[in-house]
Structure 1
Amino acid sequence: MQNHFKQMDKFETVLFRNGDDALTSLQQTQPYLIILDHIFLNNPDKTGLEYLSAIRKKYAAVPVIYITVVDDPLVRTKTKN
């Protein structure tokens, strides 16, 4: 998926290895769209839900596409607007 987004000529795509780096970047520039995964392999202590909550509190105007392979009704409920 990362390679697909990198090849899109019409958009500047920025990838982050973890959510903390992404939140730091949001303080400097606001994107048009955030694509957020639920699972962070390099940071198993946090899920995308924690980052989604932080994004919605400070950057509510930025749309978020939340992706996951986790089939959990709680995750579906928490990610809906």
Structure 2
Amino acid sequence: MAVMMAFEARFNSVYNALQSAVTAAGMDCQRVDDIWVRDHIIQDVVSLIYRASIVICDLTGRNANVFYEMGDCTHAW
């Protein structure tokens, strides 16, 4: 499972709750800042989206990057 959301400290509790629920359901949960493999973060975002069977997008705060990533999800399937 992939989570697209802002990387702000005020949202850490939301991500932690998602991780706990997903783990309890027997799945893995990742946010792109858990990866940092490639030189450009957008490459990691696209890779994470395409590998995920489920993508959760938290639009709280109207983060433009998350809106972009959500749009990317619609092209992945």
Higher RCO by CA contacts (8 Å cutoff, separation 6 or greater): 2
TM-score by length of 2: 0.46
TM-score by length of 1: 0.45
Which one has a bigger Cα radius of gyration? 1
Between Structure 1 and Structure 2, the one with more helix by share is 2
